Amino acid sequence: MIQKRAIVGRSQSECQAPTVRSSAYLNALTLEIEKKLQHYFGEEDAISVADDGYSGLICFYSVLADYFVCMPQNGKSILDLIVQLWSLSFASNIFALLFHKWMFEVQLDNPEVSLRYSAALLQGAANVFWIDIQTNAMRFLRLFQYLLDEVALDSERLKKIPQQAQRDMFLLLSRLIFFYNSADKLESFLKQFPDFPNAFLIGSVADIFVIELADQLQKLKVEPVLLHYLSQIKVLQGLELRMTTSTRLKTCLYSFTSPCGPMYPTRAVRHAAWDALNFLFPVGRYPRHVISLFFRLLYPWYSDSILAGNC
């Protein structure tokens, strides 16, 4: 199935003999086990950004991902099992976590295999990232950082997956770059965007990015996550967008300013949405507030909230 697997781009210090690395792996795994035990004893209730950052504790999947790059033959049996279980929902998740680095450090000579693995990687990554969003955690921050820093921003690694997979990866990262606190890399990220065949209909890479971001905002139901996105979205100021894209973003933000459906946002979300809307689109700020107040007065059950200053 795979004609050739050659490890590239790895220094000798990264791929030492297992006997040398085993101590580091055991220490990392011991820390993780200790962390889980502390959680059960109520000593730790949440996972912070620092825990999963580059300078924080090492995650199980990150340790194994490095190991399978240095010792690919030891991961072959697991990879074969995953291939046999493609139809199961969790198979792509496991593949993305354990083999996301392996995908870009080996040479896959079979285009069909490369396409299949790329699709599994992106599907699995999307699944685990959504788990982070739904739980307001950053357990898979390392996976995101690798895909962004080491793949999307590295043209040589990016070329190792098919063009369609490249486009899908950038769309996926576009939806998550604010969540994982990487807005400072937005300019570099947009410069690396691959060509899209329908770009003449959609617009520039900035338009594609904003469209994905607006769609992501509409799906968010966790208040802290939504507030985080709205606080980060102000970095979009200055982007040159088509009128249709600008209107789409404006409509998306405006939908969070009303206490009624379909979003039913909380007061904190409404205020954050107003702040973002007024910052990105200062023209028409006061007419928007007047129109919003007028329409809400049409609904008697919101009158008390308006008079009390809660809306």
* Residue 185, domain member (yes or no): no
- For residues 176 and 183, the answer to whether their CB atoms sit within 8 Å is no
**Do 3 and 86 have their domain in common?**
yes
**Do 118 and 222 have their domain in common?**
no
* Residue 175, domain member (yes or no): no
Q: Name which of 48-62, 85-99, 109-123, 186-200 the model is least confident about.
A: 48-62
Query: Which domain range does residue 282 map to?
Result: 195-311
* Residue 36, domain member (yes or no): yes
Task: Quote the pLDDT of residue 4.
Answer: 40
* Residue 4, domain member (yes or no): yes
**Do 125 and 221 have their domain in common?**
no
**Do 54 and 12 have their domain in common?**
yes
Mean pLDDT of all residues in 251-265: 81
pLDDT digits (tens, 9 = 90+) for 172-203: 999 999 999 999 999 999 999 998 988 778 88
**Do 218 and 117 have their domain in common?**
no
Q: How far is CA 186 from CA 170, 205, 220, 231, 300, in A?
A: 12, 11, 21, 15, 44
User: Per-residue pLDDT for 60 more than 60?
Assistant: yes
pLDDT digits (tens, 9 = 90+) for 108-145: 878 888 999 999 999 999 999 999 999 999 999 999 99
Task: Quote the pLDDT of residue 57.
Answer: 55
**Do 226 and 88 have their domain in common?**
no
* Residue 109, domain member (yes or no): yes
Number of domains in the chain: 2
- Distance, in Å, from the CA atom of 164 to the CA atom of 94, rounded to the nearest integer, reads 22
- For residues 175 and 215, the answer to whether their CB atoms sit within 8 Å is yes
* Residue 179, domain member (yes or no): no
Q: How confident is the model at residue 287 (pLDDT cuts 50, 70, 90)?
A: low
Give the pair of three-digit tokens for residue 58: 């090492």
- Distance, in Å, from the CA atom of 174 to the CA atom of 171, rounded to the nearest integer, reads 5
**Do 30 and 151 have their domain in common?**
yes
